[in-house]
Amino acid sequence: MITAHHHHPELIRLVMGLAYAACGIAAFRCPRYFAGMAGTFTRWGEMSPAQRERLDGVVAAREQAEGISSNYGRYLGMSAFALALLEAVPAVPFAMPYALFCLGIAAVTLLAYLQFHRATEQRVAPLVPRSPFIALPPLLIACVAASFVVALLFAVDPQNRAGALVVATSTLVLGFVAWRIANAPALLLGLDPQYEYALDERLRVGRARNLASLATAPVFVFAAIAEPGLPELFGTLGTVAMAILIAAFLVALAASILPLFGRLRIA
């Protein structure tokens, strides 16, 4: 098998470096999309102006109660710029900066979750049972688990070991935070309980599935970069691993996108 070093590594480094720089710019321009509630909704469904105004008020109050800092997104932006420069260093394996970027996303997500968790501890949750499997269906959990296992398999290859372990760590952290959010109690402020609970449920499902989808992405991209460079001994393993990762990534992506287009269910 031809190694990845014969697959135009300079071009790969250039593309990845530009991608990190683009992510850094996006994180500085729209930090709320990397931490917080922004991007959770794509449409509000059929709502009257009065209902929309009522919901906007609940959203604003929720954001203030959570208090998730936009600085988390900016921290990720700074790390993206640094990794863009690191990608230009020939001595650094070209997959390593991406692995570190994934770990940065996991770290920022964990920080945002911890701040959100402190907010939930200050409120009284309604005595309504909620299954975590509504937010994270078993199939989606299996996708994250499969991605984690495949990342560990890539660590068998010495030249990919460090990057694979970093990516596996980011997948584990993102999957853990997704599960905790799926199990999180409702955060109700008492201003408009009906709309607050509907919003909380939408956020719970959207955030948990977004994180689960994000947990499958690092391994998928890392494997796409590293798989051509696997020794001949790992040829079949690499092919099977990529098939599993593609399936896991597409299923997780669909699971995270579809709920965004549903109507907000007001009881």
Residue 54 is predicted with a pLDDT of 86
Of the chain, the percentage scoring pLDDT greater than 90 comes to: 24
**For the segment 111-146, what is each residue's pLDDT rounded down to a tens digit?**
888 887 787 776 655 656 788 999 999 999 999 999
Q: What tokens were used for 124?
A: 């009284």
Residue 4 is predicted with a pLDDT of 42
Which comes out higher in pLDDT, residue 145 or 69? 145
Which comes out higher in pLDDT, residue 260 or 22? 22
d(CA 55, CA 43): 13
Residue 1, pLDDT > 50, answer no
**For the segment 213-248, what is each residue's pLDDT rounded down to a tens digit?**
989 988 888 888 776 666 665 667 778 888 999 999
Burial category of 31 from C-beta neighbours within 10 Å (exposed 0-12, middle 13-18, buried 19 and up): buried
Residue 155 is predicted with a pLDDT of 87
Which comes out higher in pLDDT, residue 5 or 168? 168
**For the segment 40-62, what is each residue's pLDDT rounded down to a tens digit?**
554 555 677 888 888 888 888 88
Average pLDDT score over residue span 73-79? 90
d(CA 105, CA 261): 25
**For the segment 90-101, what is each residue's pLDDT rounded down to a tens digit?**
888 777 888 888
**For the segment 150-206, what is each residue's pLDDT rounded down to a tens digit?**
999 888 888 888 888 988 998 999 999 899 889 988 888 888 888 888 888 888 888
Whole-prediction pTM value? 0.82
Residue 2 is predicted with a pLDDT of 34
d(CA 65, CA 174): 23
Q: What tokens were used for 151?
A: 């990342």
Q: What tokens were used for 96?
A: 């390593």
State the amino acid at position 255 in one-letter form.
A
Residue 25 is predicted with a pLDDT of 92
Residue 251, pLDDT > 80, answer yes
Residue 95 is predicted with a pLDDT of 73
* CA distances from residue 45 to 49, 128, 166 in whole angstroms, order as listed: 12, 25, 40
